[in-house]
Amino acid sequence: MNELQLKVLELLKEDARRDADLIATLLGAPAEEVKQAIAELEHNHIIVKYATIVNWSKVDDEKVTALIEVQITPERGRGFEGIAERIYLYPEVKSVYLMSGAYDLLVEIEGKNLKEVASFVSNKLSPIDAVLSTKTNFILKKYKQDGIIFEEHEGDDRLMISP
Amino acid sequence: MIKEEEELVRTKVKRQAMTDYLTPSVQNIKPSGIRRFFDLVNTRKDVITLGVGEPDFITPWHVREAAVYSLERGKTQYTSNAGLPALREAIGQYLNDQFQTPYDPASEILVTVGGSEAIDLALRALIVPGDEILIPEPCYISYSPITALGGGVPVGIETFAEEKFKLKAESLQAAITPRSKVLILCYPSNPTGGIMTYEDWLPIAKVVEDNDLIVISDEIYAELTYGTKHCSFSAMPGMRDRTILVSGFSKAFAMTGWRLGYACGHPDLIAAMLKIHQYTVMCAPAMAQYAGVEALTRGLEEKDRMVDAYNQRRRLVVKGFRDIGLECHEPEGAFYAFPSVKATGLTSEKFAERLLEEGGVAAVPGDVFGLGGEGHLRCSYATSVSNLAEALDRIGGFVHKLKQG
């Protein structure tokens, strides 16, 4: 990864809708090089997807999210990979992290309501042979995600004109 | 006999209006052109402003938190007049590390209420009525009025876009008279974004030396240079004792509202300024000083991040103005672009007014910054990329409409 690619990533992380021309201007780099850098980042799946961060709590049809701490027995030869895959292939599962500490996987699950999440845990997750235990933590409110504060005070408190 | 006459005059002449109580020097201060434009802008809605002379970043949280913590611990008393020893130590260390300008925290550094107070103190300490104060222009708007308040005579020295608004030794030399005493420098420059390098300073230092001038160097934008590292005038050979270096936290650390600055210089000069400071303001606000220590000791990375962001926006606006067809010299410091609007045939003021009315963008007409400012527009790029893009769009549309006739 070269320096230009890193800078491009930073700018896209702030706002994924910025096009290559704008990024080139901001960085003082030739537009062609920036286009090339973005293409490579996409090709190498460093840029995985351009998605939108949504504050679902403002959407009427609200969702329930839970973080589930999962303890598992690793498989011989494959470690945690196989079990992790069996878990993350479920569409209800939004993210899966391998963790150090008291448990092994942190699984984020999204459902329409509490019951749906609970049923997923008891019917899908817990029955997996390698799963030793689960601990479900429901998220009550999201304040900040991926470095972005949800209810940040918007607007500019500065005087319109100052010397 | 003369005393009696004076007494007579005092009792006889009844003052007609409250303003008759005011000193002539205060009465003579003209309201700033910026103020007038500010009032005009405030009558409008949906305006994108490029008129703001302060960062759009909020003071980094760890710096704010340091001030909160100082309050929690009850650090609410006066500090020493010159400022918290810990802050002066930090300033000394920082100036030496960043700009190779060493100052003794005990005798050569004074913490002030913003850089503005430091400028006021320096001028008050130096001006004998009638002294001429040399001021390269276009420049920040307060040097002339403060000079006049002290009975000094401001002498503007015009600088030019073709020379990137650098101060030239010949222009400085030409402005010097036997009454010249102080040269006020402000590089990186508000409003032009111009900077001075070591090579640019060399001939200036010679003129200063030859004419026995003293220099007030307002380096509040020192951290905001792009490409070249700021060269302090005080770091020039032989200039340290002739220079009062003024700076502060406002621009580099996004701390405008804290009002925290400092002056550094020869112990005799700092002692004189301290005398005025202790009787007029006692000390800078304590909580701001604790925040200042945090900013200097742990805030440099955050500062670099902000400077990076300004640099990106700088490229965007300069390209934007050039694409629109307005000449724009490359600003290498501060956060202002100073494009020329001469091509439109309008004066700065008229252009700014019509841009506000018809284009919905506020920017400060260049003429308010003194000689050489007419025909230009000060555009602050301390605002978000999306705001800048929208502003440039609107300015482009407005200029296009002007050209259509």
pLDDT (tens digit per residue) in B362-371: 999 999 999 9
Helices and strands (H, E) in chain B, number of each type: 14, 12
Q: How confident is the model at residue B45 (pLDDT cuts 50, 70, 90)?
A: confident
Q: How confident is the model at residue B2 (pLDDT cuts 50, 70, 90)?
A: low
- Mean pLDDT, residues A129-140 taken together: 96
Instruction: Kindly give, in sequence order, each residue whose CB lies less than 8 Å from that of residue B65, ignoring residues fewer than 6 positions away.
Output: B294
Chain B: residues touching A (Cβ < 8 Å): 32, 34, 37-38, 41-42, 47, 49, 51-54, 56, 140-142, 190, 312-313, 315-316, 319, 362, 364, 383, 385-386, 389
Distance from C-alpha of A105 to C-alpha of A67, rounded to nearest angstrom:
10
Q: Looking at beta carbons, which residues of chain B come within 8 Å of A27? A: 312, 315
Number of C-beta neighbours around residue A35 at 10 A: 16
Q: Looking at beta carbons, which residues of chain B come within 8 Å of A162? A: 34, 38, 51-54
Range in A10-14, B13-17, B48-52, B251-255 the model is least confident about: B13-17
Closest partner CB to A161 (pick from B190, B312, B362): B362
Contact present, B331 and B314 (Cβ < 8 Å): yes
Q: Where in chain A is the domain with CATH 3.30.70.920?
A: 56-142
Instruction: Kindly give, in sequence order, each residue whose CB lies less than 8 Å from that of residue B221, ignoring residues fewer than 6 positions away.
Output: B187, B188, B189, B190, B251, B252, B333, B334, B335
> B282 and B317 share a domain?
no
**pLDDT score of A155 more than 80:** no
Secondary structure class of B252 (helix, strand, coil): coil
Please judge whether B52 and A158 are an interchain contact, meaning their C-beta atoms are less than 8 angstroms apart. Answer: yes
Number of domains in chain B: 2
pLDDT tens digits, one per residue of A26-38: 999 999 999 999 9
Percent of chain B with pLDDT over 90: 91
> B44 and B108 share a domain?
no
Q: How confident is the model at residue A158 (pLDDT cuts 50, 70, 90)?
A: very high
Backbone φ and ψ of B234, nearest 5° = -70, -15
From residue B352, how far is each of B143, B314, B349, B362 by CA, in Å? 24, 20, 5, 7
> B174 and B223 share a domain?
yes
**pLDDT score of B91 more than 80:** yes
Domain end residue (candidates: B268, B298, B328) = B298
pLDDT at residue B89, as a whole number: 98
> B274 and B313 share a domain?
no
CA B221 to chain A, closest CA, distance in angstroms equals: 14
Secondary structure class of B356 (helix, strand, coil): helix
**pLDDT score of B1 more than 60:** no
> B308 and B216 share a domain?
no
pLDDT at residue B224, as a whole number: 98
> B154 and B84 share a domain?
yes
Q: Looking at beta carbons, which residues of chain A come within 8 Å of B51? A: 160-162
**pLDDT score of B313 more than 70:** yes
> B163 and B286 share a domain?
yes
**pLDDT score of B241 more than 80:** yes
Q: What is the layout of strands, in order, in the sheet containing A93-98?
A: A93-98, A105-111, A64-72, A131-138
**pLDDT score of B6 more than 80:** no
Distance from C-alpha of A160 to C-alpha of B188, rounded to nearest angstrom:
23
Domain end residue (candidates: B298, B326, B343) = B298
Number of C-beta neighbours around residue B278 at 10 A: 14
Q: In CATH, what number is assigned to the domain containing residue B261?
A: 3.40.640.10
Encoding tokens for residue B189? 């420059």
Distance from C-alpha of B175 to C-alpha of B26, rounded to nearest angstrom:
26
pLDDT at residue A152, as a whole number: 75
**pLDDT score of B33 more than 80:** yes
Q: Where in chain A is the domain with CATH 1.10.10?
A: 3-43
In the predicted model, what is the mean pLDDT of chain B? 95
> B256 and B136 share a domain?
yes
Please judge whether A26 and B315 are an interchain contact, meaning their C-beta atoms are less than 8 angstroms apart. Answer: yes
Q: Looking at beta carbons, which residues of chain B come within 8 Å of A156? A: 56, 383
> B179 and B249 share a domain?
yes
Distance from C-alpha of B357 to C-alpha of B352, rounded to nearest angstrom:
9
**Domain, as residue range, for B288:** 61-298
Q: Looking at beta carbons, which residues of chain B come within 8 Å of A158? A: 52, 54, 56
pLDDT at residue A62, as a whole number: 76
Is the CB of residue A162 less than 8 Å away from at least one CB of chain B? yes
- Does a structural domain hold residue B24? no
Among A10, A1, A8, CA closest to A33? A8
- Mean pLDDT, residues B232-254 taken together: 98
Please judge whether B56 and A158 are an interchain contact, meaning their C-beta atoms are less than 8 angstroms apart. Answer: yes
Which residues make beta-bridge pairs with A109?
A: A66, A93
Q: For an interface test with A, which of B45, B315, B321, B328 has the most A Cβ atoms less than 10 Å from its Cβ?
A: B315
- DSSP for A109-126, please give it: EEESSHHHHHHHIIIIIT
> B170 and B37 share a domain?
no
Distance from C-alpha of A157 to C-alpha of A82, rounded to nearest angstrom:
52
Please judge whether A161 and B41 are an interchain contact, meaning their C-beta atoms are less than 8 angstroms apart. Answer: yes
Q: Looking at beta carbons, which residues of chain B come within 8 Å of A28? A: 315
Distance from C-alpha of B252 to C-alpha of B248, rounded to nearest angstrom:
8
Among B339, B368, B340, B351, CA closest to B35? B368
Q: How confident is the model at residue B4 (pLDDT cuts 50, 70, 90)?
A: low
- Does a structural domain hold residue B10? no
Percent of chain A with pLDDT over 90: 82
Contact present, B169 and B203 (Cβ < 8 Å): yes
Cα B396-B398-B400 angle, rounded to 5 deg: 70
Closest partner CB to A161 (pick from B34, B319, B389): B34
Please judge whether B319 and A25 are an interchain contact, meaning their C-beta atoms are less than 8 angstroms apart. Answer: yes
Is the CB of residue A26 less than 8 Å away from at least one CB of chain B? yes
Contact present, B246 and B222 (Cβ < 8 Å): no
Distance from C-alpha of B373 to C-alpha of B365, rounded to nearest angstrom:
8
Contact present, B328 and B399 (Cβ < 8 Å): no
Secondary structure class of A60 (helix, strand, coil): coil
CA B354 to chain A, closest CA, distance in angstroms equals: 16
> B107 and B227 share a domain?
yes
Q: How confident is the model at residue B10 (pLDDT cuts 50, 70, 90)?
A: low
Is the CB of residue A123 less than 8 Å away from at least one CB of chain B? no
Residue in chain B lying closest to A27 (CA): B312
Residue carrying structure tokens 């672009």:
B337
- Does a structural domain hold residue B15? no
Closest partner CB to A161 (pick from B49, B385, B386): B49
pLDDT tens digits, one per residue of B256-274: 999 999 999 999 999 999 9
CA A4 to chain B, closest CA, distance in angstroms equals: 13
pLDDT at residue B37, as a whole number: 87
**pLDDT score of B374 more than 90:** yes
In terms of C-beta density within 10 A (0-12 exposed, 13-18 middle, 19 or more buried), how is residue B182 classed? buried
Which residues make beta-bridge pairs with B158?
A: B137
Q: In CATH, what number is assigned to the domain containing residue B339?
A: 3.90.1150.10
Q: What is the CATH number of domain A56-142?
A: 3.30.70.920
pLDDT tens digits, one per residue of B126-177: 999 999 999 999 999 999 999 999 999 999 999 999 999 999 999 999 999 9
Backbone φ and ψ of B181, nearest 5° = -130, -45
- Does a structural domain hold residue B25? no
- Does a structural domain hold residue B349? yes
Is the CB of residue A48 less than 8 Å away from at least one CB of chain B? no
Distance from C-alpha of B367 to C-alpha of B33, rounded to nearest angstrom:
8
Largest CA distance in chain B: 74
Q: How confident is the model at residue B202 (pLDDT cuts 50, 70, 90)?
A: very high
In terms of C-beta density within 10 A (0-12 exposed, 13-18 middle, 19 or more buried), how is residue B364 classed? buried
Contact present, A9 and A47 (Cβ < 8 Å): yes
Q: For an interface test with A, which of B36, B52, B314 has the most A Cβ atoms less than 10 Å from its Cβ?
A: B52
Domain end residue (candidates: B253, B275, B298) = B298
Fold entry, domain A3-43: Arc Repressor Mutant, subunit A (1.10.10)
Closest partner CB to A26 (pick from B47, B49, B316): B316
Size (chain A), residues: 163
CA A32 to chain B, closest CA, distance in angstroms equals: 17
Q: Looking at beta carbons, which residues of chain B come within 8 Å of A160? A: 38, 41-42, 47, 49, 51-52, 362
- Mean pLDDT, residues B95-106 taken together: 98
Q: For an interface test with A, which of B189, B385, B387 has the most A Cβ atoms less than 10 Å from its Cβ?
A: B385
- Mean pLDDT, residues A132-147 taken together: 93
CA B316 to chain A, closest CA, distance in angstroms equals: 6
Residue carrying structure tokens 């509040």:
B220
Q: How confident is the model at residue A110 (pLDDT cuts 50, 70, 90)?
A: very high
Which residues make beta-bridge pairs with B261?
A: B112, B248
Q: Between A59 and B254, where is the model more confident?
A: B254
pLDDT tens digits, one per residue of B270-292: 999 999 999 999 999 999 999 99
> B71 and B152 share a domain?
yes
Please judge whether A161 and B312 are an interchain contact, meaning their C-beta atoms are less than 8 angstroms apart. Answer: no
